[in-house]
Structure 1
Amino acid sequence: MTSRTRVPRAVAAAAATALLVAARSSTAGEADPSAAPAGGGEPIELSYLHRLPDGEGMTPVAEIVDRWNAEHPNIQVTATKFDGAAPDMILKLETDVGAGNAPCLAQLGYAEIPQLFVKGLLEDVAEEAAAYESEFSAGAYSLVTVGDATVGLPQDTGPLVYFYNEAEFERLGIAVPETLEDLAAASETAAADGAFVTSFTPDEALNWLSAQSAAAGDEWFGAGEGGWSVDIEGEGSERVAAFWQDRIDNDETLVTERWGEGFTQALNDGSLIGHVGAAWEAGFMLDSLDGTDAEGQWRVAQLPDFGAGATTGADGGSGVAVMAGCEHPVEAMEFNAWFNTQIDDLASQGLVVAANGTPATSDKMLRQFGGQDVLEELATASGNMNPDFVYAPGFASLTVMSETAAGVADGSATVADVFGNAQTSAVSTLQDLGLPVAE
């Protein structure tokens, strides 16, 4: 059986991929992944490195992969769980690529992908990916692209949605907000009663605020002949900044770290009755309310209109990329597409799947959200992600956003400063990576 091989190439100075430092392209003919090995040869062996939780009650990754292997005797996959932190996995992959023993496939956060590609660690499999593009939400698919290159397929998403306590909203006469103006009005009503329908979370600023800008219709990064464009202070970001600054100035939002004790305490004491959060939070956000009077009171809705209609942005999520040096990219992508469309299995891992379709909502979610079909609502949000909002190399290192947001919390900075500092930092980061930035 033949397969394509890949070799590094310098990206030409034309179109979007002219800006990428170490793209890869195919050099041989097509393979037929379903064909038997020629002359009764050995099956193709692929490896997949992931960091899915594999927790209690979840369908184990090994079990999913075993099903593939039983159905595809000519393409055998070995899955390995990486138990360390995500940055440690990136370091391992970089070392393994350099040593020539990297896995063919690896799970990567969307924000990590652009920088790994320009460093030459990922393959451009745009041709193979095109056959599977329609099976995934457009917003998620865009996040495994870098310029004109596509490095794999999306696995899960983190669209922003709106969580709210239905019982408390009804008590206060607040309707589920459909626009940013509605959310502002609800904030005022709730604050007068000593409650908050939102929380401003500085430690989540990077992904949380960028996702809101995406929901408002902005596009922060683009790749063209003149270099990477950076436009973090667009009209959408201005709208987002003004909304949160007003809420903070008027004491109409809970200002607390998302992953600190203050958030959970406010949830438990009933002072926090609404939250703009990532869809994946639905899997655990309400755990502390189990067995209390508030159990079953919360619901999830689409993000209010931030100015671009029924649009949301990605706060987290990951894709499965083809690593540089993979000898069988066609077969790797066949498995990639199959694995990431096993939506019920992946949903059991706590993922908001990127593939089209709606997994069954778990008994736990049904109980915590009062019988609501939560995953159906989250699937709608996944389909509403802004497909034009993509990341640039170095995005994941824009820690200045959270640092500045901490200043917003203590009054030493404004929300607008978060976006302004991110603009400056993003430009310098791209330049430090040796990438051209358009004027």
Structure 2
Amino acid sequence: MKKNSTSPWLKAGLALGTVALLVAPLAACSSDSSSGDTSGGTSQADIDAAVKKGGEITWWTWGDTTQDWADAFMKKNPKVKIKVVKLDNPDATVTKLQNAVKAGSGAPDIVPVEYQTLPQLTMSGALADMSAYGLDKYEDDFTASTWNAVNVADKLVGIPLDSGPMVMIYNTKLYAAAGIKEAPKTWDEFVAASAAIHKYDPSAYIANGGDAGFFTSMIWASGGHPFKTEGENVTIDLQDQGSKKFADMWGGMLQKGELSQVATWSDEWTKSLAQDKLGTLLMGSWMIDMGEDYGVDKWKAAPMPTWDGQPGSAENGGSSITVTEQSKNKLIGAAVLQFLAEGDGRDLVNQGGFPATVATFDEPEWSNRVYPAYVDEQKANQVGAASAKSVIPGWQYLPYQGYANNVFADSVGKAISEEGDLNAALKEWQKTLVDYGNAQGFTANK
């Protein structure tokens, strides 16, 4: 890599949430690894021998089930000791990891990473390339979109844990009352349904305005590819065909006053869903297992509407499991990732969230599961499985996606609250992201 005294990975304070992250140079700039077990290819015998010999590793997490996973691994491999450290949330985990990268020490051996954050952590040298440890053998076991997410800059930086192929979960009671007989298959039908719901009950809405994660997923589902990164070159086009098509459609409903202003996950949002004032959730399939707080026996899951009525979807959420570049026990880390990729370990992973493993979609117990929220004992998981197969390929996140999401409220979020022009807001968001990228040493839109 070309040496650059203003490398963006050295200079940038990449904001994730409300916290500034400290980053290190590109991993490609490092002369070697200090972990002692990463040179050349690694055989399964090497991994097995390391586990048999034993050692102690640290596993940071924000999840409640990680200790169970670690305990199951240690039961099978009693000479390995895993210290699980619980952190508050994904943002706190990434911030702490980036600080360790900056300091040159203090990182754990294993850490979960949300898909949107993988490019940022990979380029800052935080994550180890696991292709040398044979983990690429699992490619066919996972959905194409989640496997693409863990392959960053020609590196395999982890394995998928869960996934979030988008589905439309709609309130059959509200839809029927508004005269809508079936789920919209196209966005034109969705717009018509929006008008019908708001006409039937001016205090009811088809959906709320959305947040940064929702917007990027919807642009993806609309065929947009607004973010492209090659090394330090970043291209941002939030007026590409998919971005503009979505903004035109969503903005039209917004300016008619047909989208709710309640914030996603707020108490008001939950009440609106339970009281039939918010008719639709456009979310990752992890939402299929919706709780009784939203009401029972009134929901149905349907494929995402598309522009032409043909299958097309996007990911919305999900995370991976990775080994850090600072780890002194990458062989044991690789063994843990193998454990979580197949067999008993994968079974534990798939007990929570929506699975990323394609074989799960054909398991009768999973595919035929019935949830109390859904009418007619709908087997809603099958809708999510179909969505996973229709995720539009080629999506990329920004290498500073955390910052992008953080400043979303200043432009697009403001337009939502003021029922303003979403295309103008996307242009403003783009300018902020381009200016930020160039200020940090990237070459953005040049």
Shorter-chain TM band: 0.7 to 0.9
Aligned counterpart, 2:185? 178
Gap regions ≥5 residues in structure 1: 1-9, 55-60
CA deviations 1:97-149 (Å, max 9, x no partner) are 43534222200122222222222211223444422121111111222232222
Which of 352, 355, 363 aligns to 2:354? It is: 352
Aligned counterpart, 2:264? 258
Distance 1:298 1:153 in 2: 33
Secondary structure at the residue paired with 1:124? coil
CA deviations 1:286-311 (Å, max 9, x no partner) are 43245xxxx21101112111469422
Matched, 1:27 2:39: yes
Which of 95, 98, 114 aligns to 1:94? It is: 98
**In 2, are the aligned partners of 1:154 and 1:354 still within 8 Å (CA)?**
yes
Which of 227, 245, 262 aligns to 2:233? It is: 227
**In 1, are the aligned partners of 2:57 and 2:109 still within 8 Å (CA)?**
yes
Distance 2:27 2:330 in 1: 17
Distance 1:404 1:35 in 2: 49
Distance 1:343 1:311 in 2: 27
Matched, 1:136 2:142: yes
**In 2, are the aligned partners of 1:400 and 1:421 still within 8 Å (CA)?**
no
**In 2, are the aligned partners of 1:156 and 1:353 still within 8 Å (CA)?**
yes
Secondary structure at the residue paired with 1:345? helix
**In 2, are the aligned partners of 1:198 and 1:273 still within 8 Å (CA)?**
yes
**In 1, are the aligned partners of 2:47 and 2:331 still within 8 Å (CA)?**
no
Aligned counterpart, 1:301? 302
**In 2, are the aligned partners of 1:151 and 1:321 still within 8 Å (CA)?**
yes
Deviation at 1:331, TM superposition (A): 4.5
What is the Cα-based RMSD across aligned positions, in Å? 3.2
Secondary structure at the residue paired with 1:277? strand
Deviation at 1:238, TM superposition (A): 0.6
**In 2, are the aligned partners of 1:125 and 1:150 still within 8 Å (CA)?**
yes
Which of 247, 271, 281 aligns to 1:241? It is: 247
Secondary structure at the residue paired with 1:366? coil
Deviation at 1:363, TM superposition (A): 11
**In 1, are the aligned partners of 2:61 and 2:93 still within 8 Å (CA)?**
no
Distance 2:155 2:235 in 1: 17
Matched, 1:191 2:192: no
Secondary structure at the residue paired with 1:48? strand
Gap regions ≥5 residues in structure 2: 10-24, 33-37
Distance 1:298 1:347 in 2: 23
Instruction: Name the amino acid aligned to 2:112.
Output: Q
Deviation at 1:426, TM superposition (A): 2.5
Give the number of aligned pairs: 410
Which of 368, 375, 388 aligns to 2:381? It is: 375
Instruction: Name the amino acid aligned to 2:182.
Output: A
Compute the TM-score of the two structures, normalised by the length of structure 1: 0.82
Matched, 1:105 2:116: no
Deviation at 1:391, TM superposition (A): 0.9
**In 2, are the aligned partners of 1:147 and 1:223 still within 8 Å (CA)?**
no
**In 2, are the aligned partners of 1:22 and 1:120 still within 8 Å (CA)?**
yes
Deviation at 1:77, TM superposition (A): 5.7
Aligned counterpart, 2:159? 153
Compute the TM-score of the two structures, normalised by the length of structure 2: 0.81
Aligned counterpart, 2:337? 336
Distance 1:36 1:148 in 2: 26
Aligned counterpart, 1:50? 61
CA deviations 1:368-411 (Å, max 9, x no partner) are 22322233322332333233112121111112323323322343
Deviation at 1:36, TM superposition (A): 5.4
Structure 1 residues 77 and 380: alpha-carbon distance in aligned structure 2, compared to 1, 3 A threshold? farther
**In 2, are the aligned partners of 1:218 and 1:234 still within 8 Å (CA)?**
yes
Instruction: Name the amino acid aligned to 2:63.
Output: L
Structure 1 residues 421 and 141: alpha-carbon distance in aligned structure 2, compared to 1, 3 A threshold? farther
Matched, 1:125 2:127: no
**In 1, are the aligned partners of 2:109 and 2:323 still within 8 Å (CA)?**
yes
Aligned counterpart, 2:317? 316
Percent identity, aligned pairs only? Answer: 18
Aligned counterpart, 1:5? none
Structure 1 residues 81 and 417: alpha-carbon distance in aligned structure 2, compared to 1, 3 A threshold? farther
More displaced stretch, 103-112 vs 87-96 = 87-96
**In 2, are the aligned partners of 1:215 and 1:306 still within 8 Å (CA)?**
no
Instruction: Name the amino acid aligned to 1:354.
Output: A
Distance 1:198 1:139 in 2: 28
Instruction: Name the amino acid aligned to 1:376.
Output: Q
Matched, 1:200 2:185: no
Secondary structure at the residue paired with 1:316? coil
Deviation at 1:183, TM superposition (A): 0.7
Distance 1:114 1:185 in 2: 38
Which of 404, 415, 435 aligns to 1:408? It is: 415
**In 2, are the aligned partners of 1:158 and 1:316 still within 8 Å (CA)?**
yes
Secondary structure at the residue paired with 1:62? helix
